[in-house]
Amino acid sequence: MNIVIAPDSFKECLSAREVAVAIAEGIKEACPQCSIVRIPVADGGEGTVESMVEAAGGQIVEVESEDALRRPIRSFIGLLNDNSAAVIEMAAASGIGLIHSSERNPLITSTYGTGLLIRHALEKGFKRIIIGIGGSATNDGGMGMAVALGYRFLDSNGREVGHGGGNLKYVSVIDNSEVIPLLGDAEITVACDVTNVLCGPQGASAVFGPQKGATPGMIEELDAGLKHFAGSVRDKLGKNILDVPGAGAAGGLGGGLLAFTPSVLKPGFEIVKNITKLEQHIKEADLVFTGEGKIDFQTQFGKTPYGVAQIASKYGKPVIALAGSIGPGAEVLLDKGITAYFGIADKPMSPEESVKSAGRLLQNTAQQVMRVFLKSKK
C-alpha cells in the first residue's frame, strides 16, 4: 500500500517535517509493510526551506544575517539539488519567533535581515530565488529589505531614514543608484498565501499588526506610514503597490518585493506542489494523510489540507486530515475532498500540554486511523 503524508506545520508546535515524521511512525506501527512518501508542505512560513530541500534534494547553508531588531544572528538559505533555485524564508531572519514577545514593536522592527538572505543567494550565483514570507515580526513595507540590497531612503532634508514601520512616513526620496547589479538579473517568486492589500481595514497593519505588538494607536500610525510609502514608490519608481492583492503580506513585504525586486507573488502551496511533485505522488497513492494545527471553515480558503484534498479528488484518493483542534465549520471540508478529519487530543488538556504532547498524539491518532482503514479493506 502506498501512502502519501503531506501536512502543513502545527504553528508554534511542530514543523511540517516533524508532523510528517510523527504521522509516518504511527502508520508504520499499524502497517509495517506500507510504502510511505513524506512531503512536508511548509508553504511560506517557518520550515519552508527545510521542507523544500528535503522534498526536492539540496542542502541548507548557514549564513550571517540579522533579526528584526537588527541584532546579528546565524541564519540559513536552501540550495536546491539541481542548482535551479535558492530558497529563503523570511522567518529565519525577520521572523516573529526570533524575538521575545516583550520585544515586539512593528514601529522599529525591520526586514533588513531578509534582504541580507536575498543578497547571500544572489552572491552565491543564484538568479532564481523562492522566498516564503510567512511569520514576520515586521510592518516596514520591505524598506529594510531594500536597504540591504542597496536602496537608500531619504527624508525631505536628504538624511537617511531609520528602520521600522514608524519611519515610513518620512520617506521623501528613493535612491536606487547603488542597488547591487545582481538583482537586475534575478527571478524572484514570493510564496504568499494572503490577499490582503497594503492599507485600510484589510491591510497589513490592521489585520496583522496586533499579533506583532501594535496597539490601536500604532496601527493608525503604521497604516498611514505604509500609505505614504506606497505614494513615494509610485512617484519615484512608477510602481503602484497600494491596491495589489498580497501586497499587505508580512507587514507589506509583499508590496516591497514587488516594488524593489523583480518578483511575482504566487500561492505558497502551488510553489511547493510543483517543486515536490506532490500531484504525481498523490496520483500513485492508495491513501493520503494531511493536517494542520487547527482545521475549521477557514481551511477551505487555500490552506494546505484543502490544497492536498483538491489534488486527491482528481484521482479519487481518500484523504485523512489530522489537526491539533477542530473548529467551527470544519464539516464543509467533507464536501471538498477530505474524507474524514480527526482531532488528535485523547483527553482534556491545557494548550501547554497539547503542544508538548503533539508528536505523540499525532503518532497515536495516525496509528488508530490506519488500523480502521486496513480493517475496512478486508
Asked if residue 114 has pLDDT above 80, the reply is yes
Greater confidence (345 vs 12) lies with 345
pLDDT at 11 over 90: no
Looking at residue 192, its pLDDT comes to 87
Neighbours of 328 (CB within 10 A): 8
- 262 pLDDT higher than 90: yes
Instruction: Tell me the domains of the chain and their CATH numbers.
Output: 2-41+277-376 (3.40.50.10350), 48-266 (3.90.1510.10)
User: How many helices (H) and strands (E) in the chain?
Assistant: 11, 13
Contact between 111 and 88 (Cβ < 8 Å)? no
Average pLDDT for 37-44: 84
Task: Please give the residue that has the higher pLDDT: either 53 or 157.
Answer: 157
Q: What band does 240 get if pLDDT is binned at 50, 70 and 90? A: very high
CA distances 259 to 91, 155, 173, 179, 232, Å, are 20, 19, 14, 13, 11
Q: pLDDT tens across 309-360, in order?
A: 999 999 999 999 999 999 999 999 999 999 999 999 988 888 788 888 999 9
Work out the average pLDDT over 158-166: 97
pLDDT of 281 > 90? The answer is yes
Q: For residue 43, what pLDDT is reported? A: 65
Residue 154 has a pLDDT of 98
pLDDT of residue 135: 87
- Tell me the average pLDDT of the chain: 93
Amino acid in the structure at residue 71: R
pTM of the predicted protein model: 0.85
User: Would you say 198 and 247 are in contact if contact means Cβ atoms under 8 Å apart?
Assistant: yes
Q: Where does the pLDDT of residue 2 fall: very low under 50, low under 70, confident under 90, or very high at 90 and above?
A: very high
Residue 134: per-residue pLDDT = 86
Spacing of C-alpha 248 from chain mean position: 14
For 50-81, the DSSP string reads HHHHHHH-EEEEEEEEE-TTS-EEEEEEEEET
- pLDDT tens for 173-193 read 999 999 999 999 999 999 987
pLDDT tens sequence across 70-102: 999 999 999 988 778 999 999 999 999 899 999
Q: How far apart are the C-alpha atoms of 167 and 144, rounded to whole Å? A: 11
Residue 60 has pLDDT above 90, yes or no: yes
Q: What is the dihedral of CA 269, 270, 271, 273, to 10 degrees?
A: 80
List the alpha helices (DSSP H) in the chain: 16-30, 48-56, 112-123, 143-148, 204-208, 216-237, 249-260, 268-276, 278-283, 304-314, 351-376
Length of the chain: 378
